[in-house]
Amino acid sequence: MLGRLITFEGGEGCGKSTQIKRLASQLTDLGYRVRELREPGGTALGEKIRFLLKHDPAGQGMVPEAELLLMNASRAQLVREVIRPALESGEIVLCDRFYDSTVAYQSGGRGLSLDLVNSVIGHAVGETRPHLTLLLQVGREEARRRVASRTAATAGPVDRFEQEKEAFFLRVESAYEQIAREESSRVRCIPAEGEPEAVSARIWEAVEKILPKSR
């Protein structure tokens, strides 16, 4: 039995991590084998690339082309080392970001050519594509509030993506909206404000339709 690849997308502070954990717990309770992953990261190599991209001072001033290639180096490793074997063994793979993030952030946000971005993504993922993508959507004011609250609570290293200006995030949001319009059969828009339980219910309504019957 082939598993399912379900990806979670959205801007900073949209609640992906919380909802992935809730969905993983729900699926596990129903007897499914679940794998939780994140991008960039998910492998030993990918986690090192993640730190460089997001937190390492050496990453400050990184040019968009380098960012694009590093994101997809991590992704290529994740797809071949983890995602494909997990799907072949029948697992449900929940991934916090996948290639739609690259389209939104590196093409929409950074302004790189969409043809270039899609070409690099194609080399990284090959035929491995999500069965379902959940695009969590929150207003910019709420997103800023959540990011600020999270930053204050964790006191972790600075995330250079979260430091971008408002215009960057508006371009990212617009790119996500375009993806959702163009790939409506795969991408489900999920209103993600309000109580987590209500958001989880919206997610489950989309997820249960694509789950394999056997577990």
What is the residue extent of each domain of the chain? 4-207
Burial 90-102 (b: 16+ CB within 10 A, else e): ebbbbbbbbbbbb
The per-residue pLDDT of the chain, averaged, comes to 94
pLDDT digits 0-9 by tens, 106-138: 999 999 999 999 999 999 999 999 999 999 999
Q: At residue 102, does pLDDT exceed 70?
A: yes
Note the pLDDT of residue 155.
64
What pTM value is reported for the model? 0.94
For residue 80, the model assigns a pLDDT of 98
> What does the pLDDT read at residue 176?
98
Q: Would you tell me which CATH number, out of the four given (3.40.50.920, 3.20.20.70, 3.40.50.700, 3.40.50.300), belongs to the domain 4-207? A: 3.40.50.300
Cis-peptide into 40, omega within 30 deg: yes
Mean pLDDT of 20-40: 97
- pLDDT (average), residues 192-212: 95
Over residues 55-77, the mean pLDDT reads: 96
More confidently predicted of 167 and 153: 167
pLDDT above 90 for 157: no
Q: Is the pLDDT of residue 173 over 80?
A: yes
Q: How open is the CA angle 143-193-40, to the nearest 5 degrees?
A: 50
Which of 33-42, 62-71, 138-147, 202-211 is predicted least confidently? Answer: 138-147
Nearest-angstrom CA–CA distance, 7 and 39? 10
Q: Tell me which of 215 and 13 has the higher pLDDT.
A: 13
Does residue 142 or residue 182 have the better pLDDT?
182
- Phi then psi dihedrals of residue 11, to 5 deg: -75, 180
Rounded mean pLDDT, 45-59:
96
